[in-house]
Amino acid sequence: MPTDVNGGLATFSDQLILATVLLYVFAMIGYALDLGFGRSSRKTGTTGAAVPSLAASGTAARAKVAAGGAVQTLDRPAGASGGEDTGAGPEGSEAGRRTPAWAAHAATVAVALSWLGWAANLGAIATRGLAVGRWPWGNMYEFVVAICFAAVTAFLVMQARLPVRFLGAFVSLAAALGLGFAVRYLHVQAGPVVPALNSYWIAIHVTAAICASGLFILAGVAGVLYLARGEGPSRLPGRAELDRVAHRAIVIAFPIWTFAVIAGALWADKAWGRYWGWDPKEVWSFIAWIAYAAYLHARATAGWRGRAAVIIQLVAFGCLLFNLIGVNIFLSGLHSYAQVP
C-alpha cells in the first residue's frame, strides 16, 4: 500500500463494504418475505373508491369483485395476490387467508436494513476517499461500489414518494451482487490515480454518470420484472405499473446522463486537447444515450407502451452496462485506467 494512503481507513472501508453486502442480503430476504407473505401496503385509488360505493347490495358486491379483478390486472398493489380483493375485510387482509404475524413486520425490518446498508455503503465510499485524499471513484472497484450506492439511493428516495416497495428485493439483490462482484474481481488496494484523473472534472463528470446509472438500474429492474411477470395473478404489480416506474426513473436519469456525456467531452478537451476522439468509452456512452433517447422518443411520439417500449429500454440498459463495465475490461483506449486486477 502506498505510503501516502491511510491504511487504517482503507481497511475500514473494505470492512464496511462486507458489512454492506450482508445488510443488503438480509434486506433482500425481508423484502422477499413481505412480497411473498405480507399484505398490501396500499390500495389503488380506483379500488379504494369502489369499496364504500359497491358494498351495499349483492349485485353491487359482484360488480365490486369484477371491478377489483380488473383493477388488479392493470395495476396490482405490491402485496396483493392473484384475483383477491385486498380491500375486502376491515383490515384490508387478503380474502381467505390470514397474514402471518411475523410477515407484518418484514417490510419494516427490510426498510431499516436497507437504510443501514445505505449508511454502511456511504461510509465505505467516504472512508476510501479520505484514505487516499481524492474523489473515491478513480478505478472500477470504486466506481461499481458508488453505482450500487446510487441504485439503492434511487430506490429509497422513490420508495418515500411512490409505492414501489416491491422493487426492494430485486434492487437489494442487484446491489449485493454488484458489491460482491466488485470485492471478488475488481478490488484493488487504495492508492493514487493516474494524472489524467487528478482533476475537478472527476467530481462533475463521474458523479453525474454514477447518479444516472443508479436510476437506470432501477428502471432496468422494473423492465426485467415486466417481462418476467405473466398476465395472470401475481404478487407483483401489474405491467402498467412496472412500465410507469421504469419510465419515471428514465425521465429523471436521461438528462443527467446527457450532462455526464457533455461534461466528459469538456474534460477530454482539457485533458487531451479534443472534445471527441471516438474512444471506445466515448462511443459506448453515446450509444447508450442514443438507445435511451430512442426509448423516450418512441413513447412520446409513437405512443409506444408495454412490451415494445420495455424491450427498447432493456437494450439501452444492456448498452449502459457494457459501457460501464465491459468497455473497461475488454476494450482498450484512453479510458483504460480502470486498474482491473
pLDDT band at 190; cut points 50, 70, 90? confident
Q: Which span out of 61-75, 243-257, 327-341 was modeled with the highest average pLDDT?
A: 243-257
pTM of the predicted model, to two decimals?
0.79
Is the pLDDT assigned to residue 43 strictly greater than 70? no
Question: What pLDDT was estimated at residue 307?
Answer: 87
Residue boundaries of the structural domains of the chain: 194-330
HEC letters along the chain: CCCCCCHHHHHHHHHHHHHHHHHHHHHHHHHHHHHHHCCCCCCCHHHHHHHHHHCCCHHHHHHHHHHHHHHHHHHCCCCCCCCCCCCCCCCCCCCCCCCCCCHHHHHHHHHHHHHHHHHHHHHHHHHHHHHHCCCCCCCHHHHHHHHHHHHHHHHHHHHHHCCCHHHHHHHHHHHHHHHHHHHHHHCCCCCCCCHHHCCCHHHHHHHHHHHHHHHHHHHHHHHHHHHHCCCCCCCCCCHHHHHHHHHHHHHHHHHHHHHHHHHHHHHHHHHHCCCCCCCHHHHHHHHHHHHHHHHHHHHHHCCCCCHHHHHHHHHHHHHHHHHHHHHHHHCCCCCCCCCCC
Percentage of residues in the chain with pLDDT exceeding 90?
46
